[in-house]
Structure 1
């Protein structure tokens, strides 16, 4: 079964997406959706990375909730920063954050977290994965930001991906 459907959730997603885009349950569309849902994961199997070691589900849940809270807070901070920009312009800056996280899955998760939190942009990762260059929309204290970033995001990811 694994040889025919190497990624069953991906196949299901492709199948459902095809039918939603076609807006039809005609037998021809069902057959074509099934064909595409089986063939595409088989062809793209070599491109998918091996699944990562996911440990500490409780930490993962706390991280997701923390990121959700940070997204809301940061969105409000950025909106206020834009609205008061003429009187008090934001102090944008690039920050070099040293990293202990080396796992590729953990780094990918960190990249996604950085992308969804307003006010931060992932600029560059050192070739040896030892440091991350971020742009921060409004920075008061660089050392405090680095400590908070590492404590809030990197530490839980280290625990989850080891």
Structure 2
């Protein structure tokens, strides 16, 4: 039994990632047939093996206390931004003021930065476009940019600050 455990650990270095890959594959394929399940399971074994070789910066989790609040803030922002974007898109085009802003980052953990970019992109009307080479600035495209300093402050307080507690 002890010889099997290391082999299993080598084949599946991250069970959570493997399960996530299989689940996402099944959702993306929109099919639950045996072929798609087997292909998803194959990907669930292969993808983490390559990810383990590429990613040498492991996620450290700090406090999970800010997570429920962050989820609530995110859901609220998605809801409200859907209405705002719908009004902007359906309104006169001349009222739109799209633009790019560079958001200075205080968070240094790459996993926290990835979560931040995902949260920004999930919010309708904003898209994370690029990360500077030194990981200190994030380029964000905004559908309607009125006050860049206020938007930067909002991103930092609503998303980055809680993520810094979660990913120290």
Length-normalised TM-score, structure 1: 0.78
Give how far 1:4 is off.
4.2
Paired residue for 1:126, among 104, 129, 132?
132
**Equivalenced residues, count:** 156
**CA spacing shift, 1:13–1:92, aligned 2, 3 Å:** closer
1:134 and 1:15, CA in 2 relative to 1: closer, same or farther beyond 3 A? closer
- Structure 2 equivalent of residue 156 of structure 1: 162
In the other structure, the counterpart of 1:67 is 74
1:77 aligns with 2:84: yes
TM-fit CA distance, 1:47: 3.6
Whole-Å separation in 1 of the counterparts to 2:44 and 2:142: 43
Query: Per the alignment, do residues 13 and 96 of structure 1 end up closer, same or farther by CA in structure 2, a change over 3 Å counting?
Result: closer
Structure 1: runs of 5 or more not aligned: none
Cα distance in 1 between the residues matched to 2:154 and 2:40: 47
Gaps of 5+ in 2: none
Partner of 1:136: 142
CA distance, structure 1, for counterparts of residue 44 and residue 152 of structure 2:
45
Structure number with greater Rg is 1
Contact 1:4–1:38 at 8 Å: present in 2 too?
no
SS of structure 1 residue aligned to 2:95: coil
Query: Per-residue deviation at 1:46?
Result: 2.0
* Aligned partners of 2:99 and 2:145 also within 8 Å: yes
Q: Residue 48 and residue 138 in structure 1: after superposition, are their counterparts in 2 closer, same or farther (change >3 A)? A: same
Q: Paired residue for 2:103, among 72, 97, 104? A: 97
Q: CA offset at residue 150 of structure 1?
A: 0.9
SS at 1:57's partner residue? coil
Counterpart position of 1:115: 121
C-alpha distance 3-158 of structure 1, shift in aligned 2 (>3 A): same
